[in-house]
Amino acid sequence: MEKIYSLNNNIININDISNFNATHILECGQIFRYNKLNENCYIVFSKNEFAKITKINDTYQIESSNPNYFVNFFDLNTNYSQIIYKLSTHKVLIPMLNAASGIRILKQDPIEMIISFIISANNNIKRIQAIINRMCEKYGKLITFNGFSYHAFPTLNELQQISIEDFKNLGAGYRAKYLFNAIKQLQTFNLNEIYALNSENASKKLQTLSGVGPKVCDCILLFAFNKQDCFPVDTWIKKVYNSYFSETFEDNPAVIRKNLVHIFKNYSGYAQQYLFYYKRTLEKTENLN
DNA sequence: GGCCAGGCGCGGA
DNA sequence: TCCGCGCATGGC
Specify the DSSP element, H or E, that contains A44: strand A41-46
Kindly report, residue by residue over A262-286, the tens digit of the pLDDT: 999 999 999 999 999 999 998 877 6
pLDDT at A288 over 50: no
Identify which of A200, A268, A255 has the alpha carbon closest to the alpha carbon of residue A229: A268
Using the CA of A121, give the nucleotide whose C1' is nearest: B7
> Quick one: pLDDT band at residue A289, thresholds 50, 70, 90?
very low
If you average pLDDT over every residue of chain A, what do you get?
96
Covered bases, chain C (protein CB within 7 Å):
3, 7-12
Q: pTM for the complete prediction?
A: 0.97
Q: Which residue is nearest to nucleotide C3 (CA to C1')?
A: A252
Please give the pLDDT value at position A287. Answer: 53
Identify which of A24, A53, A58 has the alpha carbon closest to the alpha carbon of residue A40: A53
Kindly report, residue by residue over A62-103, the tens digit of the pLDDT: 999 999 999 999 999 999 999 999 999 999 999 999 999 999
Please give the pLDDT value at position A2. Answer: 82
Distance (Å, whole) CA A195 – CA A179: 22
Residue positions of A annotated with a catalytic role: 215
Helical ranges in chain A per DSSP H: 22-27, 67-73, 80-88, 94-99, 110-120, 125-139, 156-159, 164-169, 176-186, 192-196, 199-206, 214-223, 235-240, 253-264, 268-277, 283-288
Q: Are A33 and A133 in contact (CB under 8 A)?
A: yes
What is the rounded (10 degree) CA torsion for A264, A26, A192, A187? -130
Whether any strand B atom is under 7 angstroms from the Cβ of A140: the reply reads no
Whole-angstrom CA distances from A50 to A61, A68, A199, A233 are 14, 12, 29, 29
3-class state of residue A52 by DSSP: strand
Using the CA of A223, give the nucleotide whose C1' is nearest: B6
A107-CA/C3-C1' distance, Å: 36
